[in-house]
């Protein structure tokens, strides 16, 4: 496989690891590959979230070839900007290639809302 298109790629680590959930949200199946995000720790309160933590890695998936409509539906699901922001980070794909990908990072509300 060629290197994924960084603009249409999203690193997921929580509920979006579930293919049925992704298909429910965006209305179609998408290709994925395993990936790792270094220096971020996976946590969970009411929602899954990651936060910067040097030396810790989070495993997840890269969703490939997402369309603007896919991102619109995913942004709605992630409740941007209340719960998350969508930002670019560097990840390693399953072959060890470095690439930039979108990821959902928590807002302060997500981190403190543990109910």
In 3D space, the residue among 17, 4, 5 whose CA is nearest the CA of residue 104 turns out to be: 17
Q: Would you state the pLDDT for residue 45?
A: 86
Domain ranges, ordered by start, for the chain: 6-112
- Exposure pattern of 94-103 as b/e (b: 16+ CB <10 Å)? eeeeebebbb
From first to last of the 115 residues of the chain, give the pLDDT tens digit: 567 788 899 999 999 999 999 999 999 999 999 999 999 999 998 899 999 999 999 999 999 999 999 999 999 999 999 999 999 999 999 899 999 999 999 998 777 655 4
Sequence-distant (≥ 6) Cβ neighbours of residue 22 within 8 angstroms? 12, 16, 29, 30, 63
Q: How far is the first Cα of the chain from the last one, in angstroms, to the nearest whole number? A: 42
Query: CB count, 10 Å around CB of 79?
Result: 14
Classify domain 6-112 by CATH number: 3.10.490.10
Q: How far is CA 41 from the centre of its chain?
A: 13
């Amino acid at each position: 496989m060629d290197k994924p298109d960084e603009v249409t790629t999203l690193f997921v680590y929580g509920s979006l690891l579930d293919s049925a959930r992704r298909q429910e949200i965006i209305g179609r199946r998408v290709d994925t590959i395993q990936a790792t995000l270094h220096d971020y720790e996976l946590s969970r309160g009411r929602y899954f979230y990651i936060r910067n933590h040097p030396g810790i890695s989070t495993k997840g998936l890269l969703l490939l070839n997402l369309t603007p409509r896919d991102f619109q539906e995913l942004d709605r699901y992630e409740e941007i900007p209340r719960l998350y922001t969508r930002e670019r980070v560097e990840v390693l794909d399953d072959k060890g290639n470095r690439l930039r990908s979108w990821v959902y990072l928590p807002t302060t509300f997500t981190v403190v809302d543990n109910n």
